[in-house]
Structure 1
Amino acid sequence: MRPKHLLKAAWQHEQEIVAFLRDIVMIPSYSGNEEKVVKRIALEMEKVGFDEVKIDPLGNVIGRIGSGPRVIAMDAHIDTVELGNERLWKVDPFGAVLKDGIIYGRGASDQKAGMASLVYGAKIMKELVGTDGFTLYVTGTVMEEDCDGLCWKYIIDNNEIRPDYVVISEPTNLNVYRGHRGRLELQIRTEGRSCHASAPERGVNAIYKMVPVIQGISLLNDRLKSDDFLGKGSVAVTQVFFKSPSQNAVPDECTIQIDRRLTAGETKETVRQELEDIFTSSKTKAEIVSLVYEEPAYTGVVFPMEKYFPTWVLDEDHPLVRKAVESYREVLESEPDLGKWGFSTNGTVTAGLYGIPTVGFGPGNEIHAHSPDDQVSVEHLVKAAAVYALMPAKITE
């Protein structure tokens, strides 16, 4: 079948794709509570003819088609953030309302639309394109919103899959994305000595000790490096905690939470050195505290991971980027824009940690992610499915 005919085939599955997406949007699946939606996705994979469907010990649903030597993974995380202020929603966030060609609801854009398009793209691929020379895994991964990439670190470290290429279906507005900034979560702690607040001179106020550090971090943000493609790194103090015997005592410990966004060339080692330099210049004794995510999956499995999410970028002329663009061009008969996400994805592990070539293409627009306007168009769902149907064969030709 000629590539452009894949779009016609995808439109023939429009009602099925829409019904599947609406079903999984109706199922709440906050991070760590994805079991019901995982089982629903597994049923759909079996229904459309995947060769094998399994749920791994962490709770990821993994569907396989083909058995060739080249391994491609096409990923959608299927957990969502919570609702926030429900009064801001104009529709039932779990109603999966379909109106004027748009599906609304929590997770519609981020990131269940990608899952729906991937499942039906794989079905079309199996029926019309074939699987000569490759194995395709479609993964519905868990806990991304709480700790992006943890799901893939588990998959790779436990020898579930080690793909040669990864396609991430996070929303790209139907463009091809080739990277994003990384991030690092950490804390800084100062210690003092408590005493009665009526005589503060008897103690050492840990909050006061933190002040020059906070000021130094504020100034650091202004001078962080920028990258022509990824943009500027950033740093912000996002939370402040303290310990004190009472409200009438000088606090003896102060801790601040840091959100550090990493552009090209920035790593956890460079970040640590920047902070140490602030401590030195301000003559402050402070401790950097690495943070580890160790919440249980819905299966009960705990897989600890440091909250370090490396930056990743593929060159414009990388073969995977070129093949993604060619797939788009041949199916949709137009040219995609090349871009990047503003947020972070599972690519922090597949590409950032393990160096596996990774590219992004997905339905929906990231401006709707995490918002009370969470939505995706039916047109995007269908067009993404058609492109997904060609991508694996194109990538491995």
Structure 2
Amino acid sequence: MNKDVIQKVQAEVKRHEKAILTFLDEIIAIPSFDSQIGDVVKRINKEMKDLGFDEVFTDKMGNSVGRMGNGPVKIVFDSHIDTVGIADRTQWKWDPFKGKTEGGIKYGLGACDEKGSTPGMVYALKIMKDLKLLDGFTCYYFGNMEEECDGIAPNSFVETEKIRPDHVIIGEPTCMRIYRGHRGRVELKVTTKGRTCHASAPERGDNAVYKMMPIVKEISEMSHLFKDDPFLGKGSVVVSKIECKTPSLNAVPDECTIYLDRRLTFGENEETSIAELHSLPSMKNGKVEELFYDTPSYTGFKFPVSKYYPPWALDPKHPLVQAGVEAYKAAHGGKEPVVDKWVFSTNGTYWMGKANIPSIGFGPGNEVYAHTVNDQVPLDEVVKATEFYALLPQALKK
């Protein structure tokens, strides 16, 4: 890659460093859990307008979209800007939104997962425009909702907004490594039915919770049925929620439901997962169903989808992976990057898993802090990631 371009990009990133980190503080301070991203979208859109983006709009679902360039090759920089909830407030040692900065680390809800990638992506697009590095490219920043349903935002982006990119960069935390895939998952529920009666005479009824107990035990012991893959790893399952219906606290429950997070590797899908559950001896008393997502977004927009998210992996020799390696080396003085995978799931389940659009991940932070009260991101990584994002299209040209 041209050394003059690398130096100019790095100089521009350094010049904007304070603005990048101030932007990070401000978007973390805006609550955006439960897919309520409207306020943070407004703040991000204002930043892009102030920076002179060619186009800034909120899509029908309510996601933030900014465009730079008009070239034939479309690149989407994907950063989900919703977060999980606060959980137990007493476990936070600082305000989850104001957070704190200490030892070069920004702490706060969404710092790692995944607001940390947004400032670098937004400023990278500005820098590319200022340095006239957009020739041949149309680059989009896509700040979206993902936590409640992986891939729903990009799915709508392609099908509703009619914008289908050629390449996607996912900003989920990667420890500044290049990630090229992850396991998929499917969300399922199992329901048992019983017959209620007064709790003083339980023999008159049929307790749905008791029917569920052997099913839960068998699910906890079924990992030997799951496939393994040398890159993605082995499938897994977790009972993530349990609930029952009962007329009162002195009555026998007549219905019990558990929810499952079934992680999928290559060779597994929603149909094989359901078939495995049906093979369990106690499942004769249970009904297995795949979950479906049709909750309206904060704009009232509905985009109904199954909660099946396929596994995916991009070939390590693919031009996008190689461009990522080249961009990393350019930003890090020739140092070779680590190329790996996520443990958790991302919007890549749609981009690559369903739409077969070449995708890689690169973002600041470590996914081990995602969904925790220690959510955090190193500030030097937030800044350095900006260089990678700005240099990637140049690496693709090669």
TM-score normalised by the shorter chain: which range applies? Answer: over 0.9
Hey, what's the Cα distance between the residues in 1 that align with 2:143 and 2:343?
Answer: 22
Q: Secondary structure at the residue paired with 1:232?
A: coil
Hey, what's the Cα distance between the residues in 2 that align with 1:239 and 1:94?
Answer: 27
Q: In the alignment, which residue of structure 2 is the partner of 1:28?
A: 31
Q: In the alignment, which residue of structure 2 is the partner of 1:287?
A: 287
1:99 to 2:102 alignment: yes
Hey, what's the Cα distance between the residues in 1 that align with 2:330 and 2:252?
Answer: 68
Q: Secondary structure at the residue paired with 2:330?
A: helix
Q: In the alignment, which residue of structure 2 is the partner of 1:259?
A: 261
Q: In the alignment, which residue of structure 2 is the partner of 1:384?
A: 385
Q: CA deviation at 1:241?
A: 2.3
Hey, what's the Cα distance between the residues in 1 that align with 2:185 and 2:283?
Answer: 27
Q: CA deviation at 1:43?
A: 0.9
Hey, what's the Cα distance between the residues in 2 that align with 1:389 and 1:2?
Answer: 10
Q: Secondary structure at the residue paired with 1:54?
A: strand
Q: CA deviation at 1:274?
A: 0.6
Hey, what's the Cα distance between the residues in 1 that align with 2:247 and 2:107?
Answer: 49
Give the direction of change, closer, same or farther, for the CA distance of 1:222–1:33 in structure 2 (3 Å limit): same
Q: CA deviation at 1:395?
A: 2.3
TM-score (norm 2): 0.93
Map residues 194-213 of structure 1 onto 2, 5 A cutoff.
194-197=196-199, 199-213=201-215
Q: CA deviation at 1:329?
A: 0.8
Q: In the alignment, which residue of structure 1 is the partner of 2:51?
A: 48
Map residues 268-347 of structure 1 onto 2, 5 A cutoff.
268-278=270-280, 281-282=281-282, 284-333=284-333, 334-347=335-348
Q: In the alignment, which residue of structure 1 is the partner of 2:369?
A: 368
Q: C-alpha deviations, 1:102-131, integer Å up to 9, x for none? A: 222211121111000001111111122522
Identity of aligned residues (%): 49
1:234 to 2:267 alignment: no
Question: What letter corresponds to residue 3 of structure 1 in structure 2?
Answer: I
Q: Larger deviation: 213-222 or 117-126?
A: 213-222
Q: CA deviation at 1:358?
A: 0.9
Q: C-alpha deviations, 1:143-170, integer Å up to 9, x for none? A: x112121111111121341111110011
Question: What letter corresponds to residue 228 of structure 1 in structure 2?
Answer: P
Q: Secondary structure at the residue paired with 2:284?
A: coil
Q: Secondary structure at the residue paired with 1:352?
A: coil
Q: C-alpha deviations, 1:69-88, integer Å up to 9, x for none? A: 11110110111122223333
Hey, what's the Cα distance between the residues in 2 that align with 1:313 and 1:283?
Answer: 33
Give the direction of change, closer, same or farther, for the CA distance of 1:315–1:255 in structure 2 (3 Å limit): same
**1:115, 1:140 within 8 Å by CA — same for their partners in 2?**
yes
Unaligned 5+ segments in structure 2 are: none
Hey, what's the Cα distance between the residues in 2 that align with 1:219 and 1:97?
Answer: 42
Question: What letter corresponds to residue 370 of structure 2 in structure 1?
Answer: A
Q: C-alpha deviations, 1:287-317, integer Å up to 9, x for none? A: 2122122322221223222222211111222
**2:79, 2:144 within 8 Å by CA — same for their partners in 1?**
yes
Q: Larger deviation: 75-84 or 197-206?
A: 197-206
Q: Secondary structure at the residue paired with 2:112?
A: helix
User: How many residues of Structure 1 are paired with residues of Structure 2 in the alignment?
Assistant: 394
Hey, what's the Cα distance between the residues in 1 that align with 2:10 and 2:358?
Answer: 26
Hey, what's the Cα distance between the residues in 2 that align with 1:319 and 1:393?
Answer: 12
Give the direction of change, closer, same or farther, for the CA distance of 1:205–1:371 in structure 2 (3 Å limit): closer
Hey, what's the Cα distance between the residues in 1 that align with 2:242 and 2:84?
Answer: 23
Q: In the alignment, which residue of structure 2 is the partner of 1:132?
A: 135
Map residues 167-186 of structure 1 onto 2, 5 A cutoff.
167-186=169-188
Give the direction of change, closer, same or farther, for the CA distance of 1:239–1:382 in structure 2 (3 Å limit): closer
Map residues 344-359 of structure 1 onto 2, 5 A cutoff.
344-359=345-360
Question: What letter corresponds to residue 175 of structure 2 in structure 1?
Answer: N
1:8 to 2:15 alignment: no
Q: CA deviation at 1:96?
A: 4.6
Hey, what's the Cα distance between the residues in 1 that align with 2:294 and 2:249?
Answer: 32
Hey, what's the Cα distance between the residues in 1 that align with 2:141 and 2:152?
Answer: 17
Q: CA deviation at 1:215?
A: 2.9
Give the direction of change, closer, same or farther, for the CA distance of 1:211–1:88 in structure 2 (3 Å limit): closer
TM-score (norm 1): 0.93
